[in-house]
Amino acid sequence: MHLTEIKIHLCPSDSGRLKAFCSITLDGEMVVRDLKIIDGDAGPFVAMPSRKLCDHCPRCHEKNHLRARFCNQCGSRLNENRHQRYRMGPDRLKLHADIAHPVNARTRARIEQELLAAFAMEIERSHQPGYVPTPMDTDVPELSVMFKTGAA
């Protein structure tokens, strides 16, 4: 499997540890969006696209994020420590689940290596005069044109 296209969208410098959003194309046939480059304690790493885990409100059974303090639906106060049940180890809470991820360490390492190289190149590119950030497919082009020209 080859990454036939990599798009890196750098985050503003005030975004904390989140450094970039990435989208990758696998063998020219499948796109995976929302990979993230995060500045970790041991250097930048790639996070796979993930969703926040949910559980059900004991009163109305609406789904809420594990860290939610109140139910979205009925407003009941939720037990703030309930996410502790999903511990994966002494220091690791399970609050997110991957939507897509490599099935072995070798592939994970290769994807990470290629994305970090593309990330470094994008940073390099961003220092050039006239740099235009890579548009992501979540951007709405018509809207950004409107904002740029100041038209309402």
Would you tell me which residues interact with Zn ion (CB under 5 A)?
57, 59-60, 62, 71, 73-74, 76
CB 11 within 8 A of CB 20: yes
Q: Please, what is the minimum distance in Å from the beta carbon of residue 50 to Zn ion?
A: 24
Q: Which is nearer to Zn ion, 74 or 146 (CB)?
A: 74
Q: Which is nearer to Zn ion, 70 or 131 (CB)?
A: 70
How far apart CA 93 and CA 114 sit, in angstroms, is 28
Q: Please, what is the minimum distance in Å from the beta carbon of residue 61 to Zn ion?
A: 7
- Judged by DSSP in three states, 100 sits in coil
Q: Please, what is the minimum distance in Å from the beta carbon of residue 57 to Zn ion?
A: 3
Residue 30, C-beta contacts closer than 8 angstroms, at least 6 positions apart = none
Q: Which is nearer to Zn ion, 76 or 126 (CB)?
A: 76
- Backbone dihedral angles phi then psi of residue 60, each to the nearest 5 degrees: -115, -5
How far apart CA 100 and CA 107 sit, in angstroms, is 13
Residue 105, C-beta contacts closer than 8 angstroms, at least 6 positions apart = none
Q: Which is nearer to Zn ion, 34 or 62 (CB)?
A: 62
Q: Which is nearer to Zn ion, 50 or 72 (CB)?
A: 72
Q: Report the Cα–Cα distance between both ends of the chain, in Å, rounded.
A: 45
